[in-house]
């Protein structure tokens, strides 16, 4: 009775833990979605629209099932949610050809669909459309800009909009700040304005410093500046852009970098990298404009680029934070399984290590390896609900006890099904709960046969058995690697997938000796 009460209270604790975890993950997803789509994109669209001097801008997202394009953002339109058929119009042409469409006068194009003009009373003249791709280079939508106020859209506009479309894609999927891309953007601005040099500094407020992320002509140099010295520090502190017409005549200018590099800064434009919430991430500097000094129009232009890059960076930072948060949640969960039984501590992380090793040997892509890693780490999570005495029993289990042990797989599935896994981790509950299934149907709990066991689940099954055989258990001493492989060989084709066993052997041969030596 006492044990039953303890078990009940443990289950209650677990349920509470998982509700909390579910809320954390859901909150993270909501935050990310909100930041991505609802707040960031309209701002980003407005920035590019003003850079292109366009009257209207629209972001369409594809609905491939209905073969329609839906507006996600429509500047200058009353209706914020309209859709058009894929086969129609210049936007449709852009999606189907996967190419930029630039038309000087829409009514002269055979592809132009005047229906929306007729409905709204608007008169479309010039149109520029660019496709947006996902990571796999599949079209996910288009950007459309209408009526350039100062003439027609140019080749430079096409380049700008292509960079922006790439940015949206990178923005949605990037997990780390892509410095290469950020450099390209800032250098394109430098060239456009005919400046000699540009640099990007990141702010470290805690240390009272700003550090160079990159600086022209002194690549590889790590410039560390005191926040209280120089223009970059001042801009980072005040969050206000500054134009310096003559650097050496301005007492705020710090000559130390020039003295170290032998460069002579004449004029300077510096703006902050500021996020939507007002947080200063750093500053962008451009130096020595070849034709005269910097103007307020140059500053506005650089501010536009800066706010776009800030959003890009903030999103990358957010992804990093989420990844770290997810990783730490996983570590806590894995540690809670270890705490249940000290003899098998580390089992989950070793199974994950072998699983990842096998998947890498088999050439799995990064996303699938990430999924497998999480499923392997959590595969025995349901053991938290298993009776301690049965779990640690040294002798042979009774049929009832064995049935109770088997229940851990059902618990794993039920618990993981309650968690909100994003995108690539959606299959984690399914994969984790199949680790005791065997190809010939002799496994549990479903008794699935080869046709119904996903290949990824077969990997976790082999990794799990190999780990269990080669480490201490309450019911056996560890076997040698050779003995473990021998057992796997005996059951290859009947219980275990031959390709998986083979990949485990080559992983073990190649990687483990290296890590030991």
Binding site for Fe ion (CB under 5 A): 380
The secondary structure of residue 135, as a DSSP letter, is: T
Strand ranges across the sheet with 209-215: 224-226, 209-215, 195-204, 280-289, 268-274, 242-244
Which residues is 139 bridged to in the sheet? Answer: 133
Smaller CB separation from Fe ion, 285 or 437: 437
Task: Tell me how many degrees the CA angle 27-31-33 measures, rounded to the nearest 5.
Answer: 115
Smaller CB separation from Fe ion, 51 or 391: 391
The residue with its CB nearest to Fe ion is 380
Helix (H, G, I), strand (E, B) or coil at 116: helix
User: Rounded to the nearest whole angstrom, what is the least distance from the CB of residue 432 to Fe ion in the complex?
Assistant: 9
Smaller CB separation from Fe ion, 380 or 437: 380
Per the CB < 8 A criterion, the answer to whether 374 and 428 are in contact is yes
Encoding tokens for residue 6?
Answer: 């303890």
User: Rounded to the nearest whole angstrom, what is the least distance from the CB of residue 476 to Fe ion in the complex?
Assistant: 15
Smaller CB separation from Fe ion, 225 or 463: 463
User: Rounded to the nearest whole angstrom, what is the least distance from the CB of residue 316 to Fe ion in the complex?
Assistant: 37
> Is the sign of the CA dihedral 455, 456, 461, 466 positive or negative?
positive
Largest separation between any pair of C-alpha atoms in the chain: 89
Smaller CB separation from Fe ion, 35 or 379: 379
User: Rounded to the nearest whole angstrom, what is the least distance from the CB of residue 308 to Fe ion in the complex?
Assistant: 49
User: Rounded to the nearest whole angstrom, what is the least distance from the CB of residue 175 to Fe ion in the complex?
Assistant: 31
Q: Which helix (H) or strand (E) holds 148?
A: strand 139-148
User: Rounded to the nearest whole angstrom, what is the least distance from the CB of residue 459 to Fe ion in the complex?
Assistant: 14
Backbone angles phi, psi at 179, to 5 degrees: -65, -30
User: Rounded to the nearest whole angstrom, what is the least distance from the CB of residue 436 to Fe ion in the complex?
Assistant: 6
Candidates 407, 417, 419; CA nearest to 380 is 407
User: Rounded to the nearest whole angstrom, what is the least distance from the CB of residue 441 to Fe ion in the complex?
Assistant: 18
Q: Where are the alpha helices (H) located in 58-136, listed in sequence order? A: 89-97, 115-120
Smaller CB separation from Fe ion, 174 or 344: 344
The secondary structure of residue 68, as a DSSP letter, is: E
Tokens 């130096």, located at residue: 287
Buried residues in 239-261 as b, exposed as e (16+ CB within 10 A)? eebbbbeebeeeeebbeebeeee
Nearest-angstrom CA–CA distance, 45 and 164? 9
Encoding tokens for residue 417?
Answer: 């099904």
Smaller CB separation from Fe ion, 177 or 382: 382
Smaller CB separation from Fe ion, 185 or 380: 380
User: Rounded to the nearest whole angstrom, what is the least distance from the CB of residue 405 to Fe ion in the complex?
Assistant: 8
Smaller CB separation from Fe ion, 49 or 412: 412
């Amino acid at each position: 009775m006492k044990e039953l009460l303890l078990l009940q209270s443990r289950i209650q604790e677990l349920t509470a833990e998982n509700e909390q975890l579910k809320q954390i993950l859901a909150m993270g997803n909501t935050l990310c979605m909100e930041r991505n789509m609802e707040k960031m994109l309209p701002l980003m669209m407005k920035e590019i629209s003003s850079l292109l001097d366009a009257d209207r801008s629209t972001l369409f997202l594809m609905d491939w099932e209905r073969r329609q394009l839906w507006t996600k953002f429509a500047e200058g339109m009353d209706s914020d949610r309209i859709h058009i058929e894929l086969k129609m119009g210049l936007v449709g042409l852009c999606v189907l050809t996967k190419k930029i469409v630039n038309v000087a006068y829409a009514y002269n194009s055979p592809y132009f669909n005047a229906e929306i003009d007729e409905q709204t009373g608007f008169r479309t003249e010039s149109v520029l459309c660019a496709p947006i791709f996902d990571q796999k280079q599949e079209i996910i939508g288009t950007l459309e800009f209408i009526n350039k106020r100062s003439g027609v859209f140019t080749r430079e506009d096409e380049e700008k909009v292509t960079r922006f479309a790439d940015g949206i894609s990178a923005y949605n999927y990037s997990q780390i700040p892509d410095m290469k891309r950020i450099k390209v953007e800032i250098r394109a601005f430098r060239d456009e304005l005919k400046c000699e040099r540009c640099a990007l500094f990141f702010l470290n407020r805690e240390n009272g410093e700003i550090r160079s992320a990159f600086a022209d002509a002194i690549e590889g140099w790590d410039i560390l500046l005191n926040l209280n010295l120089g223009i970059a520090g001042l801009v980072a502190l005040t969050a206000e852009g500054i134009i310096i017409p003559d650097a050496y005549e301005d007492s705020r200018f710090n000559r130390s970098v020039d003295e170290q590099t032998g460069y002579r800064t004449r004029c300077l434009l510096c703006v902050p990298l500021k996020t939507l919430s007002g947080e200063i991430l750093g500053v962008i500097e451009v130096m020595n404009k070849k034709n005269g000094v910097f103007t307020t129009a140059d500053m506005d232009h650089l501010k536009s680029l800066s706010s776009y890059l800030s959003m890009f960076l903030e999103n990358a930072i957010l992804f990093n934070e989420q990844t770290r948060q997810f990783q730490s949640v996983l570590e806590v969960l894995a540690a809670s399984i270890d705490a249940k039984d000290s003899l098998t501590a580390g089992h989950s992380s070793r199974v994950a290590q072998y699983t990842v090793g096998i998947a890498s040997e088999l050439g799995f892509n990064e996303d699938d390896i990430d999924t497998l890693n999480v499923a392997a780490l959590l595969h025995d999570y349901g053991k938290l609900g298993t009776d301690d005495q049965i779990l640690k029993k040294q002798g042979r289990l009774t049929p009832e006890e064995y049935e109770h042990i088997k229940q851990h797989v059902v618990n794993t599935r039920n618990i993981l099904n309650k968690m909100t896994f994003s995108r690539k981790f959606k299959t984690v509950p399914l994969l984790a709960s199949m680790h005791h299934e065997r190809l010939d149907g002799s496994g549990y709990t479903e008794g699935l046969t080869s046709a119904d066991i996903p290949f990824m689940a077969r990997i976790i099954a082999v990794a799990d058995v190999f780990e269990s055989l080669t480490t201490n258990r309450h019911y056996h001493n560890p076997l040698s690697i050779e003995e473990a492989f021998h057992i796997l060989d005996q059951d290859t084709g009947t219980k275990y997938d031959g390709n998986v066993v083979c990949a485990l052997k080559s992983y073990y041969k190649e990687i483990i000796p290296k890590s030991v030596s």
